[in-house]
Amino acid sequence: MEARVLKPILGVYCAAFILFLYGPMIILAILSFQGAGGGPQFPIIEWSTYWYQHLLGMTPPSRISRLPIGDSLLRSLTLAMMTTVVSTTLGVITAQGFRTRFKASGAVFYLVILGMIVPGVLVGLGMALLSNMLGIDRSWWGTAFVLHVVYTFPFAFLVMLAIFNRFDRSVEEASLSLGVSPVQTFRRVTFPMIFPGVLSAMLFSFTLSYDEFSRTLFTSGRELTLPLTIYGTFSVEIYPNIFAFGVLTTLFSFTLLLVYALLMLRAVRAGRSFKGQEEAV
Amino acid sequence: MEFAGEQMQSAAQAQGGQNGVSPAEHRARQERRNALMLISPGVVWMALFMVLPMVMVIYVSFWTQTTFTVEPTLTTDSWVRFLTSSTYLASAWTTVRIWAIVLAATLVIGYPVALFIGLMVRNQTLQTALLVICIIPFWTSFLIRVIAWRPMLGTEGAINMILMKLGIVDTPLTTLLFSELAVLIGMTQIYCVFMVGPITFMLSRIDPSVIEAARDLGAGFGRIFFKIILPLSLPGVIVGAIFVSVMVLGEFATAASLSGRKVNLLGNIIVSQVGSLKWAFASVAGVILTIIIAAVITVLLRVVNLRKET
């Protein structure tokens, strides 16, 4: 009885919650179409794409300086790709190692998981201190990069661990006992089976690194990454050009998500047709 | 007889190789060696780039701070300075207070959402769709989500505009932005997802027949909730609470952007001290932050034994 009353109430509440989650982004998106003379708030004096052009340097020079995103965007993308490759590789081989029971596996598990738990500001500080003591210059491709991997590797590891847990070992063993070399077995048998997991690990690593900021703050040295550039605008007055940037970077993230979904769908379909063949035989 | 015994012994030796181990054991050893080889790169990476930096923070917190640099002469000066300064103790207190409020807010706001998605919606597709809708904002830039609250909360912001139009207030509220309230609202919105996700997961695993049985036996919704739903969802609550706690305690960007420098968390202290090259002092704040986080996680894990539950 009560559930019948409760369900619609909770449904409305849930809708309100979704509005709470999306509201600020929607307002930000609307305000990004503010006219040239308008401020970062309502009313919209004139609908235009002025701030998008401003962002891309297509407007005549004005009082408001351009967001220096060009170089930092390139750096962030490179860094995210480096991080993706290394943390996914580490995630796969570490999870592969976890398929055999060994002593201290609990300790190793927690050591890896700690990477996603430790606040970025703390490891960032520690890494800055360490590089100071050792006399190593801080850089986005060095000190910041290793911390990005510390952060994303646990995600990749957890995803791969979940995949290996549901993994049918006998297929691999069949391949090995038929005389296929371990390397070939991994390439032709194991890898296709774990591919959806690898894809998820890559998506996690890329997105988290691309957006990572607290770990980069103390460790990137003079050359800034994209989130650091955005953080630089926090202290000064904000203009709608940062809203325009927010819309573009959100669209970029969504594109990534879409590509992931499409690849995933293909992998699932391929898996299904493979099973179908087996049954037919 | 003696001869036969010797023969058997030698046969066993030949089978097990030089060490006298059985083939199965030999293979297990080989596998263990392979496993250790596979996990070592990850372990080395974490030891070098996570454990070592953290040890460094503790170590440097005892170094001597000069105007622009730190000397490796051990002293407790920075510790004494931190623990006797009311400003810094106040920031530690602010950190704990904001953590407690945000944690409570994410739980109170998030639980009903999880209840709806995980328990009330029985259509699998709709359930997944709703969860994905809640998680999607997590994929967008954290800093942009923080900045998005500025045009919402400002004196000329969207909320004030709506409130004025509706005639609820005559003059715009000035306490919305650049205040502690703004930080609390921002953090609650940003971190709520991490509470909703794990609770929804636990709730969706509850067998509906258990609830049905309770209802058939005459239990009201309140009784069902407190006796069945809440205890079964507790591991989700704890996991969510750990996520939210760790992220809120290590925060500084939201406070820097939305409080107008009025709220100084330990994270903000670290950032400003590093900015003025006070490394030893930043390290003390870092160690204190670590202690607080460790204490919070320990207490949360005491509530529920996660290993036993999953």
pLDDT digits (tens, 9 = 90+) for B272-300: 999 888 899 999 999 999 999 999 999 99
Q: Tell whether B264 and B190 lie within a shared domain.
A: yes
Q: Which strand (E) or helix (H) includes residue B65?
A: strand B64-65
Q: Tell whether B167 and B235 lie within a shared domain.
A: yes
Q: Tell whether B285 and B195 lie within a shared domain.
A: yes
Determine whether the interchain pair B42/A102 forms a contact, defined as Cβ–Cβ distance below 8 Å: no
* Domains observed in chain A: 2-55 (no CATH), 70-232 (1.10.3720.10)
Q: Looking at CA atoms only, how far is residue B22 from chain A in angstroms?
A: 19
End-to-end CA distance of chain B: 57
Q: Tell whether B90 and B164 lie within a shared domain.
A: yes
Domain-located, residue B70: no
- What CATH number does the domain containing B283 carry? 1.10.3720.10
Question: What is the residue range of B116's domain?
Answer: 76-309
Confidence of residue A281 (pLDDT cuts 50, 70, 90): very low
Number of neighbours of residue A234 by Cβ within 10 angstroms:
16
Q: Which strand (E) or helix (H) includes residue B71?
A: strand B70-71
Domain-located, residue B211: yes
Domain-located, residue B67: no
Helix/strand/coil for B64: strand
Q: Tell whether B89 and B207 lie within a shared domain.
A: yes
Q: Tell whether B49 and B111 lie within a shared domain.
A: no
Kindly state the tokens that stand for B62.
Answer: 């005892």
Domain-located, residue B71: no
Q: Tell whether B174 and B255 lie within a shared domain.
A: yes
Domain-located, residue B110: yes
Q: Tell whether B128 and B25 lie within a shared domain.
A: no
pLDDT at residue B302 in the model = 87
pLDDT at residue A53 in the model = 86
Mean of per-residue pLDDT scores for chain A = 87
Is pTM beyond 0.90? Reply is: no
Determine whether the interchain pair B112/A14 forms a contact, defined as Cβ–Cβ distance below 8 Å: yes
- Asked if B277 and B74 count as a contact pair (C-beta separation under 8 A), the reply is no
Q: pLDDT for B241-260, tens place per residue?
A: 999 999 999 999 999 888 88
Q: Tell whether B45 and B156 lie within a shared domain.
A: no
Domain-located, residue B80: yes
Q: pLDDT for A179-196, tens place per residue?
A: 888 888 888 888 888 888
Determine whether the interchain pair A21/B60 forms a contact, defined as Cβ–Cβ distance below 8 Å: no
Most confident of A48-62, A129-143, A263-277: A129-143
Q: pLDDT for A236-261, tens place per residue?
A: 778 888 889 999 999 998 898 899 88
How many domains does one find in chain B?
2
Q: Tell whether B47 and B91 lie within a shared domain.
A: no
Residue of B nearest to A217 (CA): B271
Q: Looking at CA atoms only, how far is residue A3 from chain B in angstroms?
A: 7
Q: Looking at CA atoms only, how far is residue B222 from chain A in angstroms?
A: 9
Q: Distance between CA atoms of B117 and A278, rounded to whole angstroms?
A: 37
Determine whether the interchain pair A94/B41 forms a contact, defined as Cβ–Cβ distance below 8 Å: yes
Enumerate the residues of chain A whose CB falls inside 8 A of the CB of residue B306: none
Domain-located, residue B171: yes
Q: Tell whether B192 and B297 lie within a shared domain.
A: yes
Determine whether the interchain pair A100/B249 forms a contact, defined as Cβ–Cβ distance below 8 Å: no
- Cα separation values, A164 from A95, A97, A205, Å: 7, 10, 19
Q: Looking at CA atoms only, how far is residue A127 from chain B in angstroms?
A: 5
Residue of B nearest to A101 (CA): B32
pLDDT at residue A1 in the model = 46
Confidence of residue A171 (pLDDT cuts 50, 70, 90): confident
Q: Tell whether B10 and B159 lie within a shared domain.
A: no
Determine whether the interchain pair A114/B116 forms a contact, defined as Cβ–Cβ distance below 8 Å: no
Higher pLDDT, B174 or A119: A119
Determine whether the interchain pair B35/A98 forms a contact, defined as Cβ–Cβ distance below 8 Å: yes
**C-alpha closest to that of B205 among B93, B302, B92, B114:** B114
Determine whether the interchain pair B130/A14 forms a contact, defined as Cβ–Cβ distance below 8 Å: yes
Enumerate the residues of chain A whose CB falls inside 8 A of the CB of residue B38: 93-94, 96-97
Q: pLDDT for A84-133, tens place per residue?
A: 999 999 999 999 898 888 888 889 999 999 999 899 999 999 999 999 88
- Asked if A194 and A89 count as a contact pair (C-beta separation under 8 A), the reply is no
